[in-house]
């Protein structure tokens, strides 16, 4: 067991989770979520907005039967490696093969030169994808791609891809000075170190939330809320990670955008016009399951609306809250907001 600063306890395995910068990730809130969920009885659990994968990984450490999912590809690759995968690690032989320069492909270099990274970094990404067929095991492949995703995120200032100026947020951190290849080798070992055998049955699937079956003992919901300022578009911030996770195969790149973004997939959670009815549909869809909904006070819809919507489908809704500091940032401003974090439990 692992004791956090606030005296809450989570399984020690959780300390091995390779933390990632991802908007709205719940890493720091895990001890509080852990304590809050203690009173809920469940074995099967769905995390359909998995994002960085931190909550799914934590649920796996508890021995739950975890279904981890997101509608983007890169979160799914990460949870395939870290949540569904029980015992496969990437070998040194595979790492050496993947870092060999082969000159076969050039898409990353041709598309992103003068936008992101150096010549060597982009050629490394091209070589990696040229070499990847060498790995046939699905989990070993997912570890390799996870290490590449993490390498690209670490090498990029603030881990987001909204602007192309590498000097803008360069504070000289080591992460910004070593190459993607060096990061990749480190990240293979970091991911290997986090892999463990689940006591429950875990799976990772890529799906829209409404395409999941409707019954799990518990559904943990952490959807994108509409912030009072700024926007909640994951593709705008992380399009490069989404692209690199599948070598941009089948992706619709917006040629007119300065940073060669991928077109964002529609999600009804992102628009004021559709948000309330979408939450109603969400609670209705999972009406047979217990629901734990994460919510931050800086968002739309309001907690009162969410509570009343949940009460349409649940006998009892309990609201737990915690003070929390969020870092919000975009390319014009970055600030810290004090927010109250809520967990609404509907049973």
Ligand X SMILES: C[S@@+](CC[C@H](N)C(=O)[O-])C[C@H]1O[C@@H](n2cnc3c(N)ncnc32)[C@H](O)[C@@H]1O
Summarize as ranges the residues that interact with ligand X (CB under 6 A).
22, 24-26, 48-49, 51-52, 54-55, 70-72, 75, 208-209, 222-224, 234, 267, 269
Burial call 241-252: b when 16+ CB within 10 Å, e when fewer: bbbbbebbeeee
**Residue 327 to residue 339: CA distance in whole angstroms:** 10
Closest separation in Å from C-beta 221 to ligand X: 9
Q: What contacts 24+ positions apart, CB below 8 Å, involve 1-9?
A: 4/31, 6/31, 6/32, 8/32, 8/34, 8/35, 9/34
Closest separation in Å from C-beta 150 to ligand X: 14
Closest separation in Å from C-beta 223 to ligand X: 6
Q: Which is nearer to ligand X, 76 or 127 (CB)?
A: 76
Q: Which is nearer to ligand X, 19 or 335 (CB)?
A: 19
Closest separation in Å from C-beta 278 to ligand X: 8
> How many other C-beta atoms can be found within 10 angstroms of the C-beta atom of residue 313?
18
Closest separation in Å from C-beta 41 to ligand X: 22
Closest separation in Å from C-beta 98 to ligand X: 26
Q: Could you give the angle at which helices 138-155 and 234-244 cross, rounded to 10 degrees?
A: 130
Closest separation in Å from C-beta 151 to ligand X: 19
Q: Which is nearer to ligand X, 72 or 147 (CB)?
A: 72
Q: Which is nearer to ligand X, 198 or 292 (CB)?
A: 292
Closest separation in Å from C-beta 269 to ligand X: 5
Q: Which is nearer to ligand X, 94 or 298 (CB)?
A: 298
Q: How far is CA 242 from CA 58, 223, 264, in A?
A: 23, 18, 11
Q: Which is nearer to ligand X, 127 or 278 (CB)?
A: 278
CA 31 from centre of chain: 18
Q: Which is nearer to ligand X, 10 or 55 (CB)?
A: 55
Q: Which is nearer to ligand X, 46 or 147 (CB)?
A: 46
Q: Return the residue nearest ligand X (CB atom).
A: 51
Structure tokens at 44: 């099967």
Q: Which is nearer to ligand X, 25 or 318 (CB)?
A: 25
Closest separation in Å from C-beta 109 to ligand X: 27
CA 309 from centre of chain: 27
């Amino acid at each position: 067991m692992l004791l956090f600063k606030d005296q809450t306890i989570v399984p020690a395995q959780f300390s091995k989770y390779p933390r990632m910068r991802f908007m709205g990730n719940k890493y720091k809130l895990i001890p509080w979520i852990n304590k809050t969920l203690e009173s809920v009885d469940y074995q099967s659990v769905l995390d359909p907005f998995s994002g960085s994968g931190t909550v799914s990984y934590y649920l796996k450490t508890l021995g739950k039967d975890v279904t981890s999912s997101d509608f983007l590809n890169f979160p799914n690759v990460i949870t395939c490696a870290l949540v569904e995968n029980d015992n496969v690690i990437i070998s040194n032989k595979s790492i050496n093969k993947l870092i060999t320069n082969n000159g076969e492909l050039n898409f990353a270099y041709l598309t992103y030169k003068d936008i992101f990274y150096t010549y060597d970094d982009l050629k490394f990404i091209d070589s990696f994808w040229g070499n990847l067929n060498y790995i046939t095991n699905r989990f070993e492949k997912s570890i390799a791609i996870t290490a590449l995703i993490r390498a690209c995120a670490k090498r990029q200032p603030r881990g987001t891809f909204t602007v192309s100026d590498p000097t803008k947020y360069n504070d000289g951190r080591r992460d910004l000075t070593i190459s993607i290849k060096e990061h990749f080798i480190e990240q293979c070992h970091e991911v290997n170190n986090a892999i463990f055998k689940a006591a429950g049955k875990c799976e990772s699937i890529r799906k829209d939330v409404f395409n999941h079956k409707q019954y799990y003992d518990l559904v943990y919901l952490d959807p994108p809320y509409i912030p009072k300022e700024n926007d909640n578009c994951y593709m705008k911030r992380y399009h490069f990670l989404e692209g690199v996770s599948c070598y941009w195969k089948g992706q619709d790149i917006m040629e007119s955008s300065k940073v060669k973004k991928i077109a964002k997939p529609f999600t009804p959670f992102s628009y004021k016009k559709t948000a309330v009815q979408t939450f109603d549909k969400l609670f209705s869809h999972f009406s047979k399951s217990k629901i734990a909904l994460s919510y931050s006070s800086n968002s739309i819809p309001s907690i009162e609306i969410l509570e009343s919507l949940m009460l349409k489908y649940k006998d009892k809704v309990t609201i737990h809250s915690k003070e929390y500091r969020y870092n919000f940032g975009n390319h014009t401003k970055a600030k810290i907001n004090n927010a109250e974090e809520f967990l609404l439990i509907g049973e």
